[in-house]
Every structure is written in structure tokens, then in C-alpha cells.
Amino acid sequence: MAPTPTPRRRRRLGLGLLAGAATLALATSLTPAAAEPDATAAEEALAASEGISVAEARQQFQREAELSRTSEEVVADLDEQEQAGSYIEGEQLVVAVTDEAAAEKVRASGAEARVVQRSQADLDETMSAVEAVAAPGLVSWGVDPKANRVVVEVAADADDAATERAVAEAEAAGAEVVEVEGRTETTVGMVGGEQYEFRADGGTYVCSVGFTATDAGGRPAMVSAGHCAEGASNFTFKGTAMGTPIGVSFPGDDYTAFALAAGVTPSAAVSTYDGSATPVAGSSEAAVGAAICKSGRTTAWTCGTIQRKNVTVNYGGSDTVGGLTQHSACTEGGDSGGANVSGQQAQAVTSGGRLYGTSGVCGEKVGQPTVSFSQPVNEILTTYDLDLLTS
């Protein structure tokens, strides 16, 4: 198990003491059993990652998809003063509520209600306070629905006065501040996850394909990370011209969409880097606590768990990106833009991750937490009026 970040230590700097860093029908014996469907790549990957059978992995994806749908419905029926988010815990959906009336609504849906102190409105207010004082040493900040508070991560070696002031103000606003090792970077380096190349700043770089789509006119398109297209040109895929950006948003957001060239044939699938691919069936959003797998040209096919949503990440300088999903699937340089899926549902494209050492590896390779960030795909599709290509 990866180590848990430790609370930010207090230390003296200069003149003052500042805060641092369903029910199943049973067939009779006279009815032939239906053949089990072939295992998908996502099911095989989750089974290997969790040490469970493929059948158990299939059941987990089905259960989490149903719980995620319930989550959207229940939370939408409550206002920001009544609820504070939801998450999957084991086989149960948990919804955080602030009073017993809201709890009764949640229980009626079959979910578990947990009464908490801070409402979504309170958490949003804390997030806004942190946004207002963000400093270079603040790595990321976002709501942890399980802890019912905003968590601010600060670099363990950040000791500048601006960061110390920001930490003190974040704590005063009710945020929890924790120190983290490593550095958070964008992971710059046709089915989802495959490599494409481009020119920027006089050099050649690589990123990964996200999801394929069609525009309003039915023409093929692809979505990926914005920092892969900002200021870039000459995009190629498998030795041929890939296409041109429809639009780019970075920083602030981290997404782009490409109009694909005639020589590129898109497929509604994501590479699992074992000679096969998993189909993309839709883009229903999975809840916090659900399993997620990502495909990318550097670390290939890796899986983890969705940890937080609507996280803001500081990639350095003025490159701050908000609205990201945090998860624990390994990502490294070159994986940026790659497809993130839960079962066969598109979730996001890789934005960046916390890397360690001079070679920039993900945490699990060096005994540290694996932390990755991705840009939700539905926002990209809406922004550029695209329809996800599905199988």
C-alpha cells in the first residue's frame, strides 16, 4: 500500500511561525446456460490489478456503473446546502448529506447516507478561497468527499514566503494541507492511447491519442490534451499527417480536438497494448471510488481508482488547470492526451501526474503514492460540439 501523505509540518521561517507545507432469475436444469461473453481488456486488466477473477472484475464494473448512475440522480435531487458529494465504498454508494431530511431521500434510493458538517456550498467556498491565494508551492487542491473537506497539497520542499502565506490562508479557510514528494508535470512525452508526434519550440514531442469522435457534419475528429497542441504544429500519426486542431484550451483547461486527415481512419476503441483493444460504448461518468484504466504510449495500459474530482493542479508557472479528475493509474511522460476508461465508458484524457526521480516515473515504481490527473471528456465533446465515436 502506498504511503499516505503526512500533515504539513509547522516550521519557523523568518520572523513568524507559519503553516507549511438486482435480483437474478435462476434458470432450471432444463434451460441451457448462456455462454459467458469473452473477457474485455478492461476486465482482464482490473482482474490482474486487484487479484480477482475476470468474472468478479466484470461484476465490479457493472456494479460501479449502476452506482455511478444512481449517484448522478440522487445528487441532482439535492441542493448544494443539502449534500456534499458522493463516492463508492466497497459495494455501496455513499452520499454525504447535511441533515436528516436529505438523508431520508438518499436512503430511499438505496444508497447510504452519511451526515457531514460541510455542505457542497461550504466546500466550494473553501475552494474559491484557495484559488484566490494559490502560490507556486501549492501542487493541487480539490474536494475529498470521503473526508468532507478541501485538501491542499504542497510541495515538501517549498519554503518561500508566498507559499507559506498561501498555506496559512488555506488552513484558515478550513482546508487540510498535506505535504507531498515528487513533482507534478504534464505528461507530454487510431485507437485511444496510441502515439502521435508534433513539433514545438524547435523540437519533436510525443503525446497519446484520446478518443475519436465526429463533428456536427459527421467528419472524423479526435480529442486529446490541450498542452499537446498549444503552440504546436506538424501533427503526425504513424508516419502520416494526422490533422489540425479545431481548438485548444490550456492552461485553465487541458483539452484540444483535431479534425482528422483523410488518411487517418478512427476506431471506437482504446488500445490495451497487448495486441488488442477495448471498445468504447459511451461516456457515462463514473463515481469517486470506481475503477479506471488509462492507455498511453509510455506506460501502456494501467489501472487504478478514481480518488477526487474537480481538482485544480499547478503545473508550474502560470500553468494552472482546474476541473480535473484525480486517480491512481500510473501515467508518465508521453501519456498525455491518452484515453481513460471505466469499463467501456470514456471518462477523460490524461493531463499529467506526480513524477519522481530524474527519469520521471510514477509513484508506484518508487514506493510513493501514484497520483494522476485527467481532463473529463464530456466537457471536451460539449465545447467542440462533437459526438463520441462508439462501438
Q: Give dist(CA 390, CA 211) in Å, integer.
A: 10
Q: Which of 68, 224, 227, 335 is catalytic?
A: 227
Q: 351 is written with which cell numbers?
A: 493531463
The cell numbers describing 82, all together, are 443539502
Residues forming a β-bridge with 96: 114
Write down the catalytic residue from 119, 328, 336, 342: 336
- Distance between CA atoms of 15 and 17, rounded to whole angstroms? 7
Q: How far apart are the first and last CA of the chain?
A: 36
Partners of 138 in the beta sheet?
154
User: Residue 3: CB partners within 8 Å, gap ≥ 6?
Assistant: 367, 368, 369
Residue 281 in contact with residue 391, Cβ under 8 Å?
A: yes
Whether residue 227 lies in the annotated active site: yes
For residues 379, 295, 210, 325, the Cα torsion angle rounded to the nearest 10 degrees is: 20
State whether the Cα torsion 154-156-158-159 is positive or negative: positive
For residue 183, give every residue at least 6 positions away whose Cβ sits within 8 Å of its Cβ, in sequence order, or none: 155, 354, 355, 356
> 57: helix, coil or strand?
helix
Catalytic residue among 122, 253, 254, 335: 254
Q: Is beta strand 320-327 parallel, antiparallel or unpaired with respect to 300-314?
A: antiparallel
Distance CA(15)–CA(250), nearest Å, equals 38
* Residues carrying an active site annotation: 227, 254, 336
